[in-house]
Amino acid sequence: MMTAFDEMHAADGSVRDNYQAYAEWLRAMPAEVTARKREEADLLFHRIGITFAVYGEDAGTERLIPFDIVPRIIAAREWQRIEQGLKQRVQALNAFLHDIYHDQEILRAGRIPAAQVLGNSQYRKEMQGVDVAGKVYAHVAGIDLVRADHGGKRGEYYVLEDNLRTPSGVSYMLEDRRMMMRLFPDLFARQAVAPVEHYPDLLLSTLRTLSPPAEGDPNVVLLTPGQYNSAYFEHAFLAQQMGIELVEGNDLFVSEDTVFMRTTHGPRRVDVIYRRLDDDFLDPLAFRKDSMLGVPGLFAAYRAGRVTLANAVGTGIADDKAMYIHVPEMIRFYCGEEPILSNVPTWELGKTEDLKYALANLPELVVKEVHGSGGYGMLVGPTASKDEIRLFREKIVAAPERYIAQPTLSLSTCPIFVEQGIAPRHIDLRPFVLSGTEVCMVPGGLTRVALKEGSLVVNSSQGGGTKDTWVLQE
């Protein structure tokens, strides 16, 4: 595997322009001061209680997300291209979602196989013909980017995954920035770092723009599955930051196709629901009958256009890995443009030739379940044992259509603090794109870092950490 692209240092060891000011500051900073700041950061995160559920660990379900105090720094011009590419991609994904639940032009044109869409478990037949406000389905999208050397290109950004159902992680982006500003105010005086703290205001205004007609300001609530959900900290944090009510299913009821919230002053109409609850559990009358988390009659109110759900029901089909392959074609079809950001080259194992190639090269590939998420249900060939590869091969052969394969990209690295000083670790980036009457975003996103040396798995649910992401302003 070739050496990973180092975001801070060029191949000759010199510091890249966007890291110059930080490198100078770091050289002047005594080691004992940075060590003390790291301890202070850990203590503050403990106090705030920034947690994430880690499944499969015997020690307990909750742990603090490790935070590294070396920022990930992105140059202004670099960010401009990323932003343009992300907006283009999300516009195409929203157009695709509207199309497949209405005229299905892209399917009739043969640009995407109809069976892959209509036969997908994430395609919601209940949404056929349902008009959603502004034709926006993915109000909040988290698009995972990686930077890597591939096909002769150095440090190119690639889209690894689209998260359009209930993307999480924005609270860590906001808390990481707060932490850095509290610990190192002098750093922000040295260069112009684009702000991110207005994200909750931007999210709230985006949600309000797509409200059904309301008397006064639309009433927006955040619907959570409850305190045992892995991202509950984020749900409570965002509701508090936006100044809206955090509700569970039993706080709401539906009467005459209108959603109401129970309050001490009597029922209050709800116009927009930012839901962090999967489709299946939203309404026991429409989806899973055994759901105790949803609101009976919610889907009927939604179909009647009496409430906006963000994200819309049925967005899951667009972030399924079987659809990821087709996003460049969606951009060409709906936008009439070439994609600004490329996909990672991908093999569909349901295709005979692709399957043959993958089985012959498993030790060099990353193989993912089409419906998998969070780093689960995947094989990282170069780091897997012979037994793991053999067992995964059996799974693939039994149901090849359930898998895709990609080359093992050597994700770019950024230094983190370790016991011996600083050392490079692999990172990715999840910017958050908001779609209302217009598409907008804050500069940056959540940088996730693989804390284990050599590891490419950055997911928080599997032990990854986070960093503050700085986009420099010109």
Strand order in the sheet with 403-407: 347-348, 403-407, 365-369, 378-380
Tokens encoding 161? 């995954």
CB within 8 A of 257, min separation 6: which ones?
A: 297, 300, 301, 304, 306
**Structure pTM?**
0.92
DSSP H helices in 142-245: 170-183, 185-190, 199-209, 232-242
pLDDT of residue 59: 45
Alpha-carbon gap, residue 277 to 259, rounded angstroms: 16
Within 10 Å of residue 58's Cβ, how many Cβ atoms? 4
Buried b (16+ CB within 10 A) or exposed e, 346-378: bbbbbeeebbeebbeebeebbbbbbeebebebb
Instruction: At 113, list the tokens.
Output: 């196989």
User: What is the longest distance spanned by two Cα atoms in the chain?
Assistant: 69
Residue 249 token pair: 């299913």
* Amino acid at residue number 152: G
Residue 356: what are its φ and ψ, rounded to 5°?
Answer: -60, -45
SS3 (DSSP) at 19: helix
Place of tokens 């850095």: 180
Q: Considering Cα of 94, then 100, then 103, then 107, what sign does the dihedral take?
A: positive
pLDDT attached to residue 1:
46
Nearest CA to 94 out of 36, 56, 138 is that of 138
Mean pLDDT, contiguous 10-residue spans, the chain (474 residues): 82 93 91 86 76 50 76 96 98 98 97 93 95 96 91 84 92 93 90 96 97 91 92 94 97 97 96 96 95 96 97 94 94 98 93 94 91 69 89 93 89 87 91 96 95 76 84 91
Please tell me the predicted confidence (pLDDT) of residue 216: 85
Contact in structure between 248 and 236 (CB atoms under 8 Å):
no
